[in-house]
Amino acid sequence: MKKRNETKAEVVLTGDRTTGKLHLGHYIGSLKNRVQMQHQYESFVMLADVQALTTHFNSPDQLRHHVRQITLDYLAAGIRPEKCTIFIQSLIPEIAELTVFYSMFVTVNTLRHNPTIKSEAKEKGYKDLYYGFLGYPISQAADITFCKATLVPVGEDQLPHIEQTRRIVRRFNQLYKPILTMPRALVGEVPRLVGLDGKAKMSKSLGNAIALDATFAQVQESLKGAVTDPARIRKSSPGYPEICPVFSYHQAFAAESADEIAQGCRFAKLGCVECKERVARRINELLDPMRATRAEYDARPSLVDDILQTGTAKARSVAKRTMQEVRDAMEISYF
Ligand code: ATP
Ligand code: MG
């Protein structure tokens, strides 16, 4: 029998917290890469409902709703269930088990100094950190290693977590037996898409995003309200595209005409209204086919259930195999 990794060179895993709808930042930072890679490599995408609980433990009902919505986002964006295993994190108990084992050799200080943990804690106003929140980079290591992923397509904010996973893999392999695979991050074309407010990254929990299921009119409206170069009050004043969030959307979604847009802005020939309308058109062109595919799946809820159940069962069988190897390596497989 062939081993899994002999047929395809890389194993790809990524996921999204089920805290809200996916947006353009997810698409350009990670999802686009996943869609391309599913044709080449063994691929897994995870609905990270446990990781969502680290900040949303008081509203599990919301997470349930978003599991379905994000599945529709995946399917709409081009994830094909026959090519890529879509699964629900909380239904893979081996991930929780691995998290416990790895947590024995990761220090609290290392977690406290993780830059993404620090900035997310600040953003959320946490003073005293919840144990689960502080430890989520460890659970992420469990997500990545249960399927022996080698490649993890992520946005820039996830890099410290992949680094943490690499340290866990190295340590586990030294302590016990070298059975875990070393993963590496693959950052998308745009490592951090800025939000409509121009301040933070586009994020589903900050209300500064264009969702992948936005209607034609919502895209136009969102862009109308987007922050631009603040020094540019009227069309006749020259702008600085490099500091304008809307220009960064041109670069991300209409790269071939970005130079022309930059010139128009710098030499005060193109006004912000037209500039926004042009990028809104391009974003709508990108989202249009997604809207059609989403509607097809949305009309067939039992098919979506089937996709989730089949994917989760497949992920579970992979997880069981890895768990056995981990227990053997740690010499805690007793019978
Ligand atoms: P939350 O605010 O609930 O954490 P989020 O928008 O940060 O939501 P996540 O589920 O945490 O989304 O991230 C999923 C993936 O998408 C990660 O790989 C992350 O790096 C990437 N990502 C999220 N936002 C952006 C962005 N604005 N630009 C590029 N990549 C992003
Ligand atoms: Mg996040």
Q: Per-residue DSSP letters for 284-309?
A: HHHHHHHHHHHHHHHT-HHHHHHHHH
Is 91 strand, coil or helix? helix
The continuous run of DSSP H or E covering 154 comes out as: strand 151-154
Q: Please state, in angstroms and rounded to a whole number, the distance separating the CA atoms of residues 291 and 275.
A: 24
Residue 6 has what pLDDT? 47
How is residue 20 annotated by DSSP?
Answer: S
Q: pLDDT (tens digit, 9 = 90+) per residue, 21-64?
A: 999 999 998 899 999 999 999 999 999 999 999 999 999 888 88
Q: How many Å lie between the centroid of ligand 2 and the Cα of residue 193? A: 12
Counting ligands in written order, the one closest to the CA of 144 is: 1
Annotated domain spans of the chain: 11-193+301-330, 216-293
Atom of ligand 1 nearest to the CA of 17: 10
Atom of ligand 1 nearest to the CA of 157: 20
Atom of ligand 1 nearest to the CA of 52: 3
Ranges of the chain whose pLDDT falls below 70: 1-8
Atom of ligand 1 nearest to the CA of 205: 2
pTM score of the predicted model: 0.92
Counting ligands in written order, the one closest to the CA of 16 is: 1
> Whose Cα sits closest to atom 16 in ligand 1?
26
> Whose Cα sits closest to atom 20 in ligand 1?
155
- Pocket, ligand 1, Cβ cutoff 6 A: 16-17, 19, 25-26, 29-30, 154-155, 157-158, 192-193, 201-205
CA-only gyration radius of the chain, Å: 21
Q: What tokens appear for 244 in the block?
A: 């304008």
Q: How many Å lie between the centroid of ligand 1 and the Cα of residue 281? A: 24
Q: How many Å lie between the centroid of ligand 2 and the Cα of residue 48? A: 11
Atom of ligand 1 nearest to the CA of 19: 3
Conformational region of residue 207, where left means phi above 0, alpha means psi within -120 to 50, and beta covers everything else: left
Counting ligands in written order, the one closest to the CA of 20 is: 1
How is residue 28 annotated by DSSP?
Answer: I
> Whose Cα sits closest to atom 8 in ligand 1?
204
User: Any alpha helices (H) in the chain, and if so which ranges?
Assistant: 4-7, 24-26, 32-37, 49-56, 60-77, 93-103, 108-112, 115-123, 131-134, 136-146, 159-175, 216-224, 245-253, 258-266, 272-298, 301-330
Residue 5 has what pLDDT? 45
Q: Which of 12, 22, 26, 151 to mutate to test the pocket of ligand 1 (most atoms within 8 A of CB)?
A: 26
Q: How many Å lie between the centroid of ligand 1 and the Cα of residue 264? A: 31
Q: pLDDT (tens digit, 9 = 90+) per residue, 226-240?
A: 999 877 878 888 889
Residue 199 has what pLDDT? 78
Q: How many Å lie between the centroid of ligand 1 and the Cα of residue 25? A: 7
Q: Which of 12, 13, 14, 16 to mutate to test the pocket of ligand 1 (most atoms within 8 A of CB)?
A: 16
Counting ligands in written order, the one closest to the CA of 24 is: 1
Which class is domain 11-193+301-330?
alpha beta
Q: Which of 30, 50, 126, 186 to mutate to test the pocket of ligand 1 (most atoms within 8 A of CB)?
A: 30
Residue 56 CB contacts under 8 Å (≥ 6 apart), including other chains: 19, 62, 63
Residue 62 has what pLDDT? 86
Counting ligands in written order, the one closest to the CA of 206 is: 1
Residue 236 has what pLDDT? 83
Which residues make beta-bridge pairs with 85?
44
Residue 229 has what pLDDT? 82
**CATH code that applies to domain 216-293:** 1.10.240.10
